[in-house]
Amino acid sequence: MFERYYGFSAPPFQLSPDARFFFPSAVHQKAKSYLTYGLHQGEGFIIITGEVGAGKTILVDNLLSTIDQNTFVTAKIVTTQLAGDDLLHLVAGGFGIANEGLAKGSLLQRISDFALAQHRNNKRVLLIVDEAQNLSFEALEELRMLSNIVFERTMALQSFLLGQPQFRAILGSARLEQLRQRVTAAYHLGPLSEPECRSYVEHRLRRADWTGDPHFDDDCFPLIYQHTGGVPRQINTLCSRLLLFGFLEKLHALTASSVEKVAGDLREEIAVITTPSASPGASADPVAESDNIAQISQRLGLLEESVHKQGLVIKRALEIAAHYFREERA
At residue 41 the predicted structure's pLDDT band, cuts being 50, 70 and 90, is confident
Q: What is the pLDDT of residue 39?
A: 86
At residue 66 the predicted structure's pLDDT band, cuts being 50, 70 and 90, is confident
Residue 234 contacts residue 53 (beta carbons within 8 Å): yes
pLDDT at 290 over 50: no
Q: What is the pLDDT of residue 42?
A: 83
Residue 215 contacts residue 254 (beta carbons within 8 Å): yes
pLDDT at 216 over 90: yes
**CB neighbour class for 136 (10 Å; exposed up to 12, middle 13-18, buried from 19):** middle
DSSP letter string over 246-293? HHHTT-SEE-HHHHHHHHHHHHHHHHHHHSPPPPTT----HHHHHHHH
For 13, list phi and psi in degrees, rounded to 5.
Answer: -125, 40
Q: Where are the beta strands (DSSP E) in the chain?
A: 45-50, 72-78, 124-130, 150-151, 154-155, 157-163, 183-189, 215-216, 253-254
pLDDT at 81 over 90: no
Q: What is the pLDDT of residue 289?
A: 45
pLDDT at 283 over 90: no
pLDDT at 282 over 70: no
Q: What is the pLDDT of residue 217?
A: 97
Whole-Å CA distances, 78 to 15, 38, 60, 87: 17, 21, 13, 10
| Greater pLDDT, 67 or 294 | 67
Can you tell me the distance from the alpha carbon of 284 to that of 231, in angstroms, rounded to the nearest whole number? Answer: 43
pLDDT at 311 over 70: no
How do residues 9-40 score in pLDDT, each as one tens digit?
A: 999 999 888 888 999 999 999 999 988 888 88
Residue 158 contacts residue 124 (beta carbons within 8 Å): yes
Q: What is the pLDDT of residue 291?
A: 47
Q: What is the pLDDT of residue 286?
A: 46
Can you tell me the distance from the alpha carbon of 95 to that of 65, in angstroms, rounded to the nearest whole number? Answer: 18
- Whole-model pTM? 0.76
Mean pLDDT of 187-195: 94
pLDDT at 284 over 50: no
Average pLDDT, the chain: 85
Q: What is the pLDDT of residue 323?
A: 60
Q: What is the pLDDT of residue 191?
A: 94
